[in-house]
Chain A
Amino acid sequence: MLSYCSLEYLIAFLPAVMLLYQILPRRFRRYLLLAAGYAFFWYLSGILVLWNIAVAVCVWLTGLRLSAILKKRDEQLAAAERGEKKMIRAACEKKLRLWVILAAAVCFGILLTLKYGAFFTGNLNSLFRLVHAGRQLRIPQFLVPIGISFYTLQAMSYVFDVQKEKISADRNPLRVALFLSFFPLLMEGPIARYNETAPQLWDGPGITLAGLQRGGWRILYGVIKKLVVADRVNAAVELLYTDFSKYDGGIVFLAALLFTCQEYMEFSGTMDIVIGTGECLSISLPENFRQPFFSATISEFWTRWHISLGAWLRDYVFYPLSMSPPLKKLTKKCRRRLGNHYGPLVTSSIALFAVWLFNGLWHGAGWSFIFFGMYHFVMIAAGNLIQPLVIGFSEKHNINRRNPFYRAFQIIRTFLIVAVGEMFFRALSLKYGLLMFAQIFTKASLKGLTDGTALKLGMDGQDYIITAVVIGFVFVVSLLRERGYNVRDHLMAKNMAVRSLVTVLMISFIILFGAYGTGYVPVDPIYANF
């Protein structure tokens, strides 16, 4: 599979697009980006690009319809008497909702059919077997277009934003199509918002030297994360998640840590390449990570990890649900009975449950992904539930919750919770995930980490060292960023020779320490399957 870290992309596709982009007059650049997006999609998924176009057409038409309804409402409101206005609004809301449901049925329908069809049918068959229904459905096998989960959410965000009048519907179908097919966003997001991204893409600002330098560094930083760490630890991760039963608890826990590290380096590295690509083209794309492993709680973690997905779920699932009339009514009731903390918690937990069910399913068609979502739901809900107790306990025992040691404890605790969650996420099935988790305790031992077993997992001592060095480097860069210091900005202010040296150092580092060539297998991007 073509990844953003591949030679095809980095030395052929991207430079060719950039060259043409710069040569073309500004008004033609948008069409180049559109053509490049569809060419990229075609290269990865062939004829399945038609699904992307279908979704674009669907949301564009829906946007126009919503816009027409809103326009009519405004005209009616202008001419209406005071008493009629509420009725007009309600009627308009009803119509809007109907069209949004229709668009959601089409877009999510495509997603559910192509990606989840086999999963749902398989489970239905299991249910039939359980009740001895004597009927089995044929499991459908569909080819899934690349990045379908990403562009579907992006497309629906456009519809929701038009419905909520955050943006105006676009009359130009090509602008909507470009928003949904911009090549850096296609495989792994971030899930961009129309008002932030579409105007920039359509505008086609020119490439600048500074943008090229900044974007180039960001791309190289991403390649280091992916090629030096994520691809290097892949051999051990593959082995341990396939054949974990042979190893003791310490090694199984190491598997959880290695995959957490691999996933972060792979996903955030790809985001660096994606955002860096945007910077090279002078297009600003939303950040998807903000030093997630400095989070004190799981709630905070999800505001720093895969930010665009979290924000989508917050804006289009959590808020609409918690603000829905039935839940508002329930909040009032609960507040009266359970007080101001626990009362609203009940209803927010219901919305949170929906968010995490969606989140889990979005990640993949499998029970392990649903469990992954539920695991995080339970962790967040439990955190909310015990929060008053923790505050009470720390006040009673004079524990300073702003103490750096306490903060460090929180960060480590959050990291461990995340790592265990990632273990379920990566496991071959939910059953294997549970077995692995149990094995950490039932075969609890650190022997495997000290007797050389860890060095026979497809990674030798030097592999661990270089992995640790890069993780240490990323940690320092993140720590500085956390404290408001941007290393890249600082380097950009240096003279040309220093900037060139930094570029050369990064390229040389990748060539010397990259996990490529003999003995390494190119690894497909983890999130590209979502």
Chain B
Amino acid sequence: MQLIKKILPVFLTAAFLTISLGGLSILVSPKNNTQDAGHDAWAAYGFEAEPEDVIDTVILGDSESRTSVSPMEMYHDVGITCYCCGINSEDLCDSRQMLLRVLRSQKPKLVILETNVIFTSFDWKRDLLSVAGSIFPVIVWHDRWKSLKREDFGRVPDYTSVEARKGYYHARVYNEAPTYLKDNYMTESSDLEPLDGINRHVLAQIASICRENGINLLLLSTPSVKNWNMPRHNTCEKEAEYLNEKAAGSGVSVEYVDMNLMTDVIPIDWDFDTRDEGDHLNNDGMRKVCAWLGPYLAQHYQLKDHRDDPACRKTWTDMYDEYLRQI
């Protein structure tokens, strides 16, 4: 009786807190994946408006991921359904939570993790908040109390806005990369870029989620003279080897592709194919990446051609013109 008396307030507080945070989460979460609804990463969440189980490939990462690969381009070329869920300035915690969210409505065969995100620093608090934020979105969206509208009350979030660009962030402009970078950024070296323990841990968690769900993982370094170099390449190669060994016997693989060393097949012109001096690619750079990546993915991972799939007609085939108009 004494013990119950001691424990009861804790349970009662926990129960009230769950109800309170749950209610507040519904209240402040954007009700749709649109800018009007207050969503700041509406494009990345557009996969939730897609029909269930049509997306075969998911791209995770930071801004590098969403500026280098255009899923619609590859769909048009080889028919693979891919969605870019990358968000600017994202870290691995965000990538992991995004993957878990994707798995609620989709059954991808392949996850592509753009490797720039692997080196973004974060600490255990950030990790904890990202997990807590996925359980109680009020932790992420709390500042939306400032912009609540009448329609936010009494509605639950339902993401219905289909994105023609499938998460790709386009740019027509070009700003050439500095000469000292574009000529030397992948100078031969055997050095390794140090990777924090917590980054390795979350990367292993992502690999583990993929393994448990029978999904292949591809670590992909997209072209960027500003963010990439040989020590980073070496670290990623080593991590991919390690993760692939761990995945042995599970029927899935962890592979690594570095486009920065593939200048013969992906001939990025750093004078014209970058939007911001070698940091991110523009539309021209993206097209060169997709021209190689689409057929490679389709062939290497034997991804299905969905171009005649009736489930994809409305949100993919019929939206291609809209995609061209937007970019």
Contacts and interface: CB of A to CB of B under 8 A. Distances in A.
B20 interface: yes
Contacts of B17: 503-504, 507-508
B91 to A, nearest CB: 12
Interface in A193-222: 209, 213
B139 A500 contact: no
A213, A500, A518: residue with the most chain B Cβ atoms closer than 10 Å: A500
B142 A514 contact: yes
Given A501-B16, A504-B17, A512-B28, A496 B9 contact: yes
A463 B147 CA distance: 12
B110 interface: no
A432 interface: no
A519 B125 contact: no
A511 B138 contact: yes
B142 A508 contact: no
B9 A517 contact: no
Contacts, number: 58
B143 A497 contact: no
A508 B12 contact: no
A378 interface: no
B252 to A, nearest CB: 34
B186 interface: no
A172 interface: no
B142 A517 contact: yes
Contact of A518 (B16, B24, B138, B143): B143
A462 interface: yes
Contact of A508 (B9, B20, B128, B129): B20
B125 A7 contact: yes
Interface in B11-30: 12-13, 16-17, 20-21, 24, 28
Given A209-B9, A500-B12, A519 B20 contact: no
Contacts of A512: 24, 28, 138, 142, 145
A511 B6 contact: no
Interface in A275-322: none
A31 interface: no
Contacts of B13: 500, 503-504
Contacts of B54: none
Contacts of B21: 508, 511
Interface in A471-507: 496-497, 499-501, 503-505, 507
Given A513-B142, A517-B142, A8 B16 contact: no
A29 B28 CA distance: 44
Contacts of B8: 496
Interface in A21-60: none
A460 interface: yes
Given A508-B21, A517-B143, A500 B125 contact: no
Contacts of B129: 7, 517
Interface in B86-141: 125, 128-129, 136, 138-140
A523 B13 CA distance: 29
Nearest to A508: B20
B8, B17, B21, B145: residue with the most chain A Cβ atoms closer than 10 Å: B17
Nearest to A463: B146
A8, A507, A511: residue with the most chain B Cβ atoms closer than 10 Å: A511
B44 to A, nearest CB: 15
Contacts of A8: 125
A500 B128 CA distance: 24
Contacts of A519: 143
Contacts of A501: 16
A519 B147 CA distance: 15
B24 A500 contact: no
Contacts of B140: 517
8 contacts: A500-B12, A503-B13, A507-B17, A508-B17, A508-B21, A511-B21, A511-B138, A513-B145
Given A497-B12, A511-B142, A513-B145, 14 more contacts: A7-B129, A8-B125, A209-B6, A209-B9, A496-B9, A504-B16, A504-B20, A507-B20, A508-B24, A511-B21, A511-B136, A511-B138, A514-B142, A517-B139
Q: Which 8 A-B pairs have the closest CB atoms?
A: A462-B146, A504-B16, A500-B13, A500-B12, A508-B20, A7-B125, A504-B17, A504-B20
Interface of B: 6, 8-9, 12-13, 16-17, 20-21, 24, 28, 125, 128-129, 136, 138-140, 142-143, 145-146
